[in-house]
Amino acid sequence: MNRPARIESGPEKGKIDALSPVDALANLLADDLKGVEALILERMQSPVGMIPDIASHLIEAGGKRLRPLITLAAAKACGGGGKAALALATAVEFIHTATLLHDDVVDGSTLRRGKTAANLVWGNQSSVLVGDFLFARSFNLMVEAGSIDILDVLARASSTIAEGEVMQLAAAAKGEASRPGYEAIIEAKTAALFSAAAKVGAMASHASPVEVEAMADYGRHLGLAFQLVDDALDYGGVTDMLGKNIGDDFREGKATLPLIIALESGSPDERAFWEHVLTKRHEPQDLARGLELIKRHRGVVRTLEAAQQHADTARDALSVMASSPFVDALADLADYVVQRAN
């Protein structure tokens, strides 16, 4: 699953200690976040009604806005903020949303070309086009931020995301399951945007090169931790959480770290099972066996350990920053993305 699991805890007034770090960050940046929400609403408008209709499905009010929060916090942590940071935070959210829309594209229809009625030619195409629209709009927003260097960072992140998604597609198609391959995929499809989100926040505040690199590092490792947790949660996390569809990645043939760990540690028989699962059409009962093997080899637990390491590295990256409530909140966020799985 590329789509992040929603972080569900809501802010509870009067109980500051009970706030999740995401909510704490949102409170700390309440005014800026309001500005971003307004910009999101404004910039997803179009005289073509279908565009805001579809866009608002994904960019609905109440989303946690994790990536834009990181941009805003990074800007503030570097002593800046203001209009450029708002535009960039919105641009980052639009890139993320475009990615989600394009992730939604389903296939299996090449054989039907020319046979489907025109009014059926909808779902996929509109997802693609509205994604394109938001992606283009994100560049308009970057233009408003006015820095060609910042634009370069986000344009590079955007092509890297596409590379990561293609890598993932190609790996799934070939039935590949390797740790270096997996690491390259999550680096590109997830960490690149988290890293750029933090980096451009710092750049918008005219931060020093050391600070800019610190924020880029922070974002990168936070993104890696985030994706590892997401992939652990796809197998139910450690507590076999309720309310989550277990095994989506398995069904889609995506070899994520829990599976790769089980494969690496498996007996020859077990490896043959994984080989079969990854390259052949598999049956519903295969998932039960897969889950059992992942449990036996502590695939989920060890994935979360890897996530914690990245969270620690993210926190460490902040050590060069002048202390501030924003830096503290970003540090707490790093731990939180892992804790949400426990």
How far is the C-alpha of 2 from the C-alpha of 70, rounded, in Å? 19
* Secondary structure tally for the chain: helices H, strands E: 16, 0
Q: Are the C-beta atoms of 276 and 266 separated by less than 8 Å? A: no
How far is the C-alpha of 33 from the C-alpha of 324, rounded, in Å? 18
The reply on whether position 83 binds a second copy by CB under 8 A is no
CB of 94: closest distance to a second copy in angstroms? 10
- Please tell me the count of residues contacting a second copy according to CB under 8 A: 66
The DSSP output letter for 47 is S
How far is the C-alpha of 255 from the C-alpha of 251, rounded, in Å? 10
The reply on whether position 7 binds a second copy by CB under 8 A is no
Judged by beta carbon, residue 148 or residue 242, the one nearer a second copy is 148
Phi then psi dihedrals of residue 122, to 5 deg: -135, -75
Applying the rule CB under 8 A, the residues between 233 and 252 that interact with a second copy are: 251-252
Cα angle 185, 233, 179; round to 5: 30
Binder to a second copy among 16, 18, 143, 272 (CB under 8 A)?
143
The reply on whether position 296 binds a second copy by CB under 8 A is no
Binder to a second copy among 165, 270, 316, 335 (CB under 8 A)?
165
Applying the rule CB under 8 A, the residues between 257 and 286 that interact with a second copy are: 281
Binder to a second copy among 130, 204, 260, 262 (CB under 8 A)?
130
For 182, the token pair is 């997996």
The reply on whether position 253 binds a second copy by CB under 8 A is yes
What's the start-to-end Cα distance of the chain, in Å? 19
Scanning 1-9, 72-80, 133-141, 228-236 for contacts with a second copy by CB under 8 A, the matching segment is 133-141
Scanning 159-167, 265-273, 299-307, 323-331 for contacts with a second copy by CB under 8 A, the matching segment is 159-167
Applying the rule CB under 8 A, the residues between 26 and 65 that interact with a second copy are: 46-51
Only one residue has tokens 């494969």, namely 263
CB of 1: closest distance to a second copy in angstroms? 13
The reply on whether position 113 binds a second copy by CB under 8 A is yes
Comparing C-alpha atoms, which of 202, 259, 193 is closest to residue 4?
Answer: 193
Scanning 20-28, 68-76, 151-159, 313-321 for contacts with a second copy by CB under 8 A, the matching segment is 151-159
Only one residue has tokens 């590379």, namely 163
CB of 144: closest distance to a second copy in angstroms? 9
Comparing C-alpha atoms, which of 239, 143, 160 is closest to residue 195?
Answer: 160
Amino acid residing at 74 = A
Sign of torsion over alpha carbons 196, 198, 199, 200: positive
How far is the C-alpha of 164 from the C-alpha of 186, rounded, in Å? 7
Scanning 112-120, 264-272, 300-308, 310-318 for contacts with a second copy by CB under 8 A, the matching segment is 112-120
Binding positions for a second copy, rule: CB under 8 A: 46-51, 98, 102, 105-110, 112-114, 116-126, 128-133, 135-137, 139-140, 142-143, 146-148, 151-152, 155-156, 158-159, 161-163, 165-167, 169-170, 172-173, 175, 251-254, 281
